[in-house]
Amino acid sequence: MSFARSLARRVVTSPFFVYAVTFVIVFNLVILGIEVDVSATLGQNDIPSWFTVCNGVVVALFTAELLLNLYAQGCRSFFCGRERWWNLFDLLIIVLSLLESALDLWVAAANSAGQSQPVSPSHLRFARSVRLARALRGIRVMRLLRYVSPLRILVLSIMSGLEIRLASSMASLMWTLVLLLLLFYSFGVLFTQLVTDECRIQAVLLTEDVNSIPKCSNEYATLFMAITGGMDWQDSMRKDISILAVLCLVMILGRVIQLASQPKAMETTSADKDLAVMKQLQKYNAQVEDLRSLFTEISGGEHHEVSIEQLRTAMTIPRFRAFLQELGIDGGEVGVLFKLLDADANGLVERDEFVKGCMNLIGTAKSLHLARMSYENKVHLGSDSRWQL
């Protein structure tokens, strides 16, 4: 692997890169909603130009992210790896976004040139189809589900049929509401964009029924009332609002209620290997940091080694003993514990020895430990020269 590709891979896997992409996606969602809501009541030529600039910057950043991921992963891993479906989805959205941006520039150039002939309706219909790419870019926020564990668990529970128990935790209910808000936002932007473009193309006069459509806030309220009984479905259909959003939301709510009524607890994380590995690493790192802090307190912060007297003094403090017992380490036999931690048998325990020794003592005995103990017993009884401490 070349140095440049190795550097690119470290960049795309770094937390800073993930946070930066997250910020760009959230920025895209916010600007998209503001643009659709503001431009719904304005003519095509009256839309502020800074929306186009923001859209161009977002598309450029998305394109740079895609190219960097493609270079870091390589073509084979990008198109055939574990994340291939997300990569293909990103590629499709960015290609449509580039096409939509190019079309915006073409329309702006045609208007600035002062052409007497207006843009043909066929071109406008094509533009309306391509402009959906701007709304679809907001769906990229779903890719962040793997970084937000509660949302990811909820989605996996709905899709895989694993039984969950939302009543045991208010946090689960909160993340359910977050998921519904994301769906409200996505569908509201999509439908407002469609209806607004259709009204511009057909030159439809805004009537009382249509006035409530080209507003994102009205879309959100309509979707909410449709699934909670505040509005009859026939009224929403007369307003030309697609029933797809209501159907999706009702099905998701029904699935959540069905899963919440099951008696078994949620164990979705065990089915998700990536999430399980992430949580295990977080737990391991937290334990290592706690042990390092404990060693610093035992040594007084001035020494890098701990003697058996210092360890025995620390074990008289209930807080230290309770911490070790919480990790599954018995601190009653201080002498035995010190010998197990003193790997080089020099009478002093260094910080790395303390952390490594405690991590080995955490939990129950593993098969590797039992096999090693059996082997060492055989070697010791046979006085084999291969015996090593």
For the residues of 104-137, what is the DSSP string, one character each? HHHHHHHHHTT-SSPPPHHHHHHHHHHTHHHHHG
- How far apart CA 361 and CA 52 sit, in angstroms, is 60
Question: Per CATH, the architecture of 1-131 is what?
Answer: Up-down Bundle (1.20)
pLDDT at 159 over 60: no
Using CA atoms, how far residue 226 sits from 174, 215, 252, in Å, is 21, 16, 14
| All residues at 6 or more sequence positions from 242 whose CB lies less than 8 Å from its CB, including other chains | 191
Q: Would you place residue 86 in the very low, low, confident or very high pLDDT band (cuts 50, 70, 90)? A: confident
Retrieve residue 254's tokens: 């029904």
Tens of pLDDT along 253-262? 666 655 554 4
Portion of the chain with pLDDT greater than 90, in percent: 1
pLDDT at 167 over 70: no
- How far apart CA 36 and CA 33 sit, in angstroms, is 5
- How far apart CA 36 and CA 47 sit, in angstroms, is 10
Sheet strands (E) in the chain: 305-306, 349-350
- How far apart CA 78 and CA 71 sit, in angstroms, is 9
pLDDT at 290 over 50: yes
* pTM reported for the whole predicted model: 0.47
What are the residues facing 350 on neighbouring strands?
A: 305
Q: Are 53 and 178 in contact (CB under 8 A)?
A: no
Residue by residue, DSSP assigns 25-52 as HHHHHHHHHHHHHHHTTS-GGGS-HHHH
Instruction: Say how many residues make up the chain.
Output: 389
pLDDT at 13 over 60: yes
User: What pLDDT, on the 0 to 100 scale, is given for residue 68?
Assistant: 92
User: What pLDDT, on the 0 to 100 scale, is given for residue 164?
Assistant: 43
Give me the mean pLDDT over the 32-40 stretch.
Answer: 79
pLDDT at 34 over 50: yes
User: What pLDDT, on the 0 to 100 scale, is given for residue 67?
Assistant: 92
Q: Would you place residue 212 in the very low, low, confident or very high pLDDT band (cuts 50, 70, 90)? A: very low
Q: Are 26 and 61 in contact (CB under 8 A)?
A: no
Q: Would you place residue 55 in the very low, low, confident or very high pLDDT band (cuts 50, 70, 90)? A: confident
pLDDT at 204 over 60: no
Tens of pLDDT along 348-377? 888 888 888 888 777 655 555 566 666 666
Tens of pLDDT along 182-194? 777 777 777 777 7
Angular region, 329: left φ>0, alpha ψ -120 to 50, beta rest: beta
- How far apart CA 181 and CA 58 sit, in angstroms, is 23
User: What pLDDT, on the 0 to 100 scale, is given for residue 179?
Assistant: 75
Using CA atoms, how far residue 298 sits from 173, 290, 350, in Å, is 43, 12, 11
What are the residues facing 305 on neighbouring strands?
A: 350
pLDDT at 388 over 60: no
Residue intervals of the chain classified under CATH 1.20.120 are 1-131
Q: Are 222 and 249 in contact (CB under 8 A)?
A: no
Which amino acid makes up residue 139? I
Cα 132 to chain centroid distance, Å, stands at 24
Q: Does domain 272-364 have CATH number 1.10.238.10?
A: yes
Tens of pLDDT along 136-147? 655 656 655 655
Lowest-confidence segment of 181-185, 225-229, 337-341 by average pLDDT: 225-229
DSSP H or E run through 180: helix 170-202
User: What pLDDT, on the 0 to 100 scale, is given for residue 97?
Assistant: 80
Place of tokens 């096409």: 99
Between 282 and 122, residue with greater pLDDT = 282
- How far apart CA 138 and CA 182 sit, in angstroms, is 10
Cα 366 to chain centroid distance, Å, stands at 33
Between 34 and 174, residue with greater pLDDT = 34
